[in-house]
Amino acid sequence: MTPVQDSDTGFDVLIVGGGNGGISAAARLLRRGITNVAVIEPQTVHTYRPLLSYVGAGQADQVSAERLQRSVIPRGCTWLRDTVVAVDADRHLVVCASGAAHRYRDLILTPGLVVDEEALPGVSAAMDAAEVTSNYLDRAEKTWRLVQSMPSRGHAVFTVPRAPVSCTGTTIKPLFLAAAHWTRTRRDVRITLVVDRPHLIGVAGIDARLRARLEELGVQTLLGTRVTGLHPEHREISVAEGGAAARRESYDLLHLVPPFRGPRWVAESRLARTTSDGLVDVDPETFRHREVADVWAAGDAAGVDTDPSGGALRRQIAMLVDNVITARHGSNAFARYDGYTVAPIATDAHKLIAGEFDRSGRPASSLPSVIDPFTPRRSAWAFDRYALPQAYWNFILKGRL
């Protein structure tokens, strides 16, 4: 697919973001007969991000998580290789970094999150340090190298930021997978988990299992504790619990998941619910913007009041596309989203909790009711590691699942 750079082009549906949400939305729209669809995405490589946890654990290769972006653009969809800098909702225009402006009838926002450098300065510089890594910031291969080279009696620190973040469960996965490797290679590693929230996931059944596993591994878990400063030159971070004064933690390995927020242009275009998190202000049940009827959003950067995940996004996109079609027919009989999401957490090398729950934290398992949905299972790990990537490339991105 040849990128289009013409200015002032118009589209029936314009999608911002060429990740999971944007591509699957485009495919579903085309399958529903809406033919003039475009996706704005600057990256030339498309990554299946859930697989990066396994890359960081030596269970998958980076190349298996990637495809060329042009290969996942649906047939009949226009790819605009550009970066959005503003939306003029009154004029139905999206303005890009290249200077191109694109008109739309309906706008779907799936831009993902960006690192909140104001909340934690120095993230980019810290990533260059030899002992600092992050699967969330495209350093999964580095994570595996550091896990392998971790000295016995070393100190590994893993962090979980405050919301918003893409899939809270995935933020904890690197710890358990690294611990499994160190146990297998008989290395006595001290582990600290810094969690900037009062709980782990916020679902009682899942949190109980995770706490038990963390205690079994001897992990020091600091709940309600935020990272306030990065000092990679000293191999230290500053952390603060509640209103207490900050103190420093040293490390031999730091897996940093930094704080995130919605893209600045969302707030600057007056489409965000608050300027602090920058998430698109949509009705969390219908995905339609609360004030601008022809703007829709789903995924990490949408204010849908549930923990983001790939499983959540699949349902969100299906309902969003249905609702765009419904609105075009002049109806308000929208499909309504209950906040269903998934927290797939590998608690050992080959065991995983497939935690499914709704917006209120109630279990929403697809398993039979007699089966405990929060028990770590080998079958759940195999499904997450092998079946889901194939489903992603062959069905989800093509709008068939």
The CA distance from 372 to 376, in Å, is 9
Q: How far apart are CA 40 and CA 82, in angstroms?
A: 6
Query: Among 285, 312, 339, which residue terminates a domain?
Result: 339
Residue 367 lies in a domain: no
Q: Please state, as a whole number, how many other Cβ atoms lie within 10 Å of the Cβ of residue 294.
A: 17
Listed as ranges, residues in the chain with pLDDT below 50 are: 1-6
CA 156 – CA 326 distance, rounded (Å): 51
Q: 263 with 82: CB under 8 angstroms? A: no
Q: What is the 3-state secondary structure (H, E, C) of 328-351?
A: HCCCCCCCCCCCCEEEEEEEECCE
pLDDT at 365: 76
pLDDT at position 6 is: 46
Q: Are both 29 and 93 inside the same structural domain?
A: yes
Strands 114-115, 260-261: pairing is: antiparallel
CA separation for the pair 352, 376 (Å, rounded): 5
Residues 226, 330, single domain; the answer is: no
User: What amino acid is encoded at 348 in this protein?
Assistant: D
**What's the total number of domains in the chain?**
2
pTM of the model: 0.95
Averaged pLDDT of the chain: 95
Nearest C-alpha neighbor of 98 from the set 19, 10, 3? 3
The pLDDT of residue 148 is: 98
Residue 376 in domain: no
Residue 53 and residue 173 in contact, taking contact as beta carbons nearer than 8 Å: yes
pLDDT at position 366: 74
Tell whether 158 and 254 lie within a shared domain.
Answer: yes
Is-contact 389 48, C-beta < 8 A?
yes
Asked whether residue 354 is assigned to any structural domain, the reply reads no
Q: What is the pLDDT of residue 166?
A: 96
Residue 238's domain comprises 117-259
The residue type found at 283 is D
What is the pLDDT, as a whole number, of residue 367? 66
Looking at residue 370, its pLDDT comes to 55
The residue among 322, 339, 356 that closes a domain is: 339
Answer whether residue 356 is part of any domain: no
Are residues 57 and 89 located together in one domain of the fold? yes
Residue 385 lies in a domain: no
Based on the fold, state whether residues 128 and 252 are members of the same structural domain: yes
Same domain, yes or no, for 211 and 141? yes
Do 105 and 80 share a structural domain?
yes
Say whether both 133 and 252 belong to one domain.
yes
**Quick one: CA dihedral 282, 361, 383, 141, positive or negative?**
positive
Q: Quick check: is 225 in a domain?
A: yes
Whether residues 137 and 252 share a domain: the answer is yes
Do 199 and 167 share a structural domain?
A: yes
Question: Concatenated DSSP letters for 218-273?
Answer: T-EEEETEEEEEEEGGGTEEEEEETTSPPEEEE-SEEE----EE--HHHHHTT-BS
Do residue 141 and residue 77 come from a single domain?
A: no
Q: Is residue 172 part of a domain?
A: yes
Tokens of 34: 């809406």
Query: For residue range 147-194, what is the model confidence (pLDDT) as tens digits?
Result: 999 999 999 999 999 999 999 999 999 999 999 999 999 999 999 999
The answer to the question of residue 24 being in a domain is yes
pLDDT for the residue numbered 32: 97
The residue out of 200, 227, 259 marking a domain boundary is: 259
CATH number reported for the structural domain that contains residue 210 in this entry: 3.50.50.60
Q: What was the pLDDT predicted at 4?
A: 42
Q: How far apart are CA 307 and CA 202, in angstroms?
A: 10
Query: Are both 249 and 125 inside the same structural domain?
Result: yes
